[in-house]
Amino acid sequence: MAQCDVCGKDENMPYNCRHCGGTHCADHRLPENHNCSGLENWNDPGGVFGSGFDESVQSGSSGTSKSVSSRVLDALPIDTGPGGPLAYFRGNMTYTVLLLMWVTFILQWLSILFGGVLGIPNLHRMLFVLTPQNPEYVWTWVTSIFAHDPEWIFHIVFNSIVIFFFGPIVERYVGSKKFAILFVVSGALAGLSQIAVQIGQGFAQIPGVGGVVGASGAALAIMGVVTVLNPKLRVYLMFMIPMPIWVLTAGIALISIFFVGTGGGGTIAHAAHLVGLLIGLGYGEYVKRTQNVRTPNQLQLGGGPGGPGGPGGPGGRRRF
C-alpha cells in the first residue's frame, strides 16, 4: 500500500509518474492534477501526453513508494502539501537542489558574519570549503557542492541557470533518486580532483590557500548527460548565440584540458570542470544504452566568463 503524494490517500494500486517520480491515487494520476514538473515539456509529443505512468505497484520495505525529494520534504517541519510554501518542490529534485544551493548561500553569509563574533574567523572555510589542507573534513565534500563564492553572486547565478535548464531533462529520464546521486557524486569527485591538483601544487602546506566551492562539476555532469542523449540539441549561449550543445560541451572540455595540462587558468577549477563533464558523458552513454530516451530540440542557456561556473575567485579559493 502506498500514499498519494497529493492527498495522502492510501492506495493498493498506486500510479507512479515517470515524469516526476511521484506516487498518486486515481484522482491525481494525471500530470495536470498533481502539478507534474513534466508539464514544462508539454511541447514534446512523446512526453506528458503519452501514458507517462508505470501502473505496476512499487513498494519498498515500508510499503510506500515516494520520490526522494518528496520524502525529504515530508520530514521538514513545514507544510509541504498542496498549497504549502514548498509544494512546488515535491517530486522535483532539480528545484530542490536549486533551493538548497540558495539556502546554503545564505548560510555562508551568516557563517561569515557571525564567525568573528563567535571567535571562529575561519568558520566559513571549515563548513563550506573543500580544502587541500583538510580533505578529511568529509562534510565539505557535500557542502562545497552547494556553496558558492559569497563575494561573486553571479557564480551561483550561472550555475543555477545551467541546472535549471538541463536538470529537468536528466531527472525526467533517470528519476529523482538517480539524479540526486549523479549530482552529489559528480560534484564531490569534481571537487576532490581539484584539491588533488592543489595538493600536487603544494597548497596543502600553506594555511588558508586553495580550496574549492561551487556546483559547476555537478552542472557539467548534467550537461554531459544531455550532450550524449541529444548532441544536436540547440542551445543559446548568453541567450543570444545559437549552437548545438556538443559544440558548447567540446569547447568547455578543450579549455579545461588546456589549462589542466598547462597548470594555468588562474583560480578557475578546470580540473573539477573536466572531471564533472567526463562523469556526465560516461553516465549519459550508460543511459543511452539502457533506456530509450527522447529530449527536446531547443533550449536557452545562460553563461558567463570562465564557463558555467563563472570566473575564478580571489584569495586562492577556486570556484567550480
pLDDT, tens digit, for every residue of 99-142? 999 999 999 999 999 887 788 888 999 999 999 999 999 999 99
CATH architecture of 88-290: Up-down Bundle (1.20)
**pLDDT tens digits along 226-276:** 999 989 888 887 777 888 889 989 998 998 888 887 766 666 788 899 999
Per mean pLDDT, which range of 156-170, 218-232, 291-305 is the poorest? 291-305
Picking from 252, 251, 272, 269, the residue whose alpha carbon sits closest to that of residue 313 is 269
pLDDT at residue 76, rounded to an integer:
60
Q: Residue 320: which pLDDT band, with cuts at 50, 70 and 90?
A: low
Residue 13 confidence class, pLDDT cut points 50, 70, 90: low
**What pLDDT is recorded for position 77?**
58
Contact 231, 245 (CB under 8 A): yes
Dist. CA 308–CA 165, nearest whole Å = 12
Amino acid identity, position 197:
V
Task: State the distance between the two ends of the chain, measured CA to CA, in whole angstroms.
Answer: 43
Tens-place pLDDT, residues 25-60: 878 878 777 877 666 554 444 443 333 333 333 334
Residue 217: pLDDT band with limits 50, 70, 90: very high
Residues in the chain: 320
Closest CA to 130 of 104, 148, 107: 148
**Contact assessment for residue 320 and residue 190, using Cβ atoms and an 8 Å cutoff:** yes
Note the pLDDT of residue 306. Answer: 33
Q: What is the pLDDT of residue 281?
A: 95
DSSP lists the bridge partners of residue 24 as: 15
Neighbours of 59 (CB within 10 A): 13
* Domain extents in the chain: 1-35, 88-290
Task: Give per-residue burial for 41-57: e unless 16+ CB within 10 Å, then b.
Answer: beebeebbeeebbeeee
Interval 194-220 mean pLDDT: 89
DSSP 8-class letter at 237: E
Under DSSP, is residue 37 helix (H, G, I), strand (E, B) or coil?
helix
Distance from C-alpha of 120 to C-alpha of 132, rounded to nearest angstrom? 20
d(CA 259, CA 269): 9
Mean pLDDT computed over 285-306: 60
Stronger pLDDT, 266 or 182, i.e. the higher one: 182
Identify the CA nearest to 191 among candidates 118, 270, 117. 270
The pLDDT of residue 289 is: 86
Given this model, what pLDDT does residue 2 score?
66
User: What does the longest C-alpha to C-alpha distance in the chain come to?
Assistant: 62
In the β-sheet with 53-54, what is the strand arrangement from edge to edge?
Answer: 23-24, 15-17, 53-54
- Of the listed ranges 72-86, 94-108, 137-151, 286-300, the one predicted with least confidence: 72-86
Lowest mean pLDDT of 17-26, 204-213, 297-306, name the range.
297-306
Long-range contacts formed by 166-170: CB under 8 A, 24+ apart: 166/219, 166/222, 166/223, 166/225, 166/226, 166/299, 166/301, 167/93, 167/94, 167/97, 167/98, 167/222, 168/37, 168/40, 168/41, 168/92, 168/94, 169/226, 169/229, 169/295, 169/296, 170/222, 170/225, 170/226
Q: What is the pTM of this model?
A: 0.67
